[in-house]
Amino acid sequence: MIHNTKRLAAAALLALTWTLSFGVQAQEATIRKNLAERVPSFTKIDEVSRTPMPGLFEVRINGAELYYTDAEGNFLIAGKLYDARQQRNLTEERIEKLTAVDFDALPLKDAFTIVRGNGKRKIAVFEDPNCGYCKRFEADLQKVNNVTVYMFLYPILGPDSNEKSRNLWCARDKGRAWQDWMVRNIPAPAAQCDTTALQRNVEFGKKHHISGTPTTFFADGSRVPGAINAAMIEKYLAEVR
């Protein structure tokens, strides 16, 4: 009798799980169909998933663009979802997870290094030599010790960025030429060499949605866009596990 009861309970649980799974799939299909018909840019949806808010679904397109909708795809929200009780920006957390890059997967051969102190801590930074925020970031980065910086030249701000990046990449001492320009405003002399690494950096950035400079990656794969100060850099370095 006990064995029969257990079998019945297991069968009921299996049936419930199947029903719930089928229901979720049906809702996802409805959302995909309705949004594709109503919003042209949503013809290719990467993922539809539930959010912690009842009745609200996350719709992801173009890799890491997040929107929210109801179960029927009748309404579309472009904005951020917050958990007011826990004081968490759920949208930001989700984007950080989606855009995280395995540090070991970074094409480090296409970067040059600047080592300070023992160099035990590691960061990778994508910067454009014509980026004013990058110059501010570099001034603060001078205050951070015991770090290895993998510097990826990322010329996305115009033709002059390509020229400056070429001269920096082709310099005999790339690290010094970079800091001369970014911190001391001393331009690198004109130089020529193989710059396919710069092209690969731009391609990598497009693939991984690096849309602005500076963008910093930490050893745990987390990324931080924008010019953060030395105290914030130290904070992120301390949180890396």
Band of pLDDT at residue 11, cut at 50, 70 and 90: low
CATH code, domain with 29? 3.10.450.70
pLDDT value at 21 more than 50: no
Question: Dihedral, CA atoms, 188, 192, 198, 199, nearest 10 degrees?
Answer: 140
Residue 3: per-residue pLDDT: 54
Select from 51, 81, 99 the last residue of a domain: 99
Number of domains forming the structure of the chain: 2
CATH code, domain with 155? 3.40.30.10
| Residues forming beta bridges with residue 112, ordered by sequence position | 151
What average pLDDT score do residues 124-145 get? 97
**210 in the same domain as 112:** yes
**178 in the same domain as 90:** no
**123 in the same domain as 62:** no
**172 in the same domain as 205:** yes
Query: Tell me: the pLDDT tens digits for 41-100?
Result: 998 999 999 999 999 999 999 888 999 999 999 999 999 999 999 999 999 889 888 887
pTM of the entire predicted model: 0.72
Select from 53, 72, 99 the last residue of a domain: 99
**90 in the same domain as 49:** yes
**84 in the same domain as 16:** yes
**205 in the same domain as 135:** yes
pLDDT value at 22 more than 70: no
Residue 125: closest CA among 52, 50, 197, 219: 219
Query: Tell me: the pLDDT tens digits for 154-171?
Result: 999 999 999 999 999 999
**65 in the same domain as 17:** yes
pLDDT value at 198 more than 90: yes
Residue 48: per-residue pLDDT: 95
**109 in the same domain as 223:** yes
**162 in the same domain as 48:** no
**169 in the same domain as 128:** yes
Residue 30: per-residue pLDDT: 93
Band of pLDDT at residue 5, cut at 50, 70 and 90: low
Q: Is the dihedral of CA 165, 169, 172, 176 positive or negative?
A: positive
Select from 79, 99, 119 the last residue of a domain: 99
Domain enclosing residue 89, as ranges: 2-99
**116 in the same domain as 25:** no
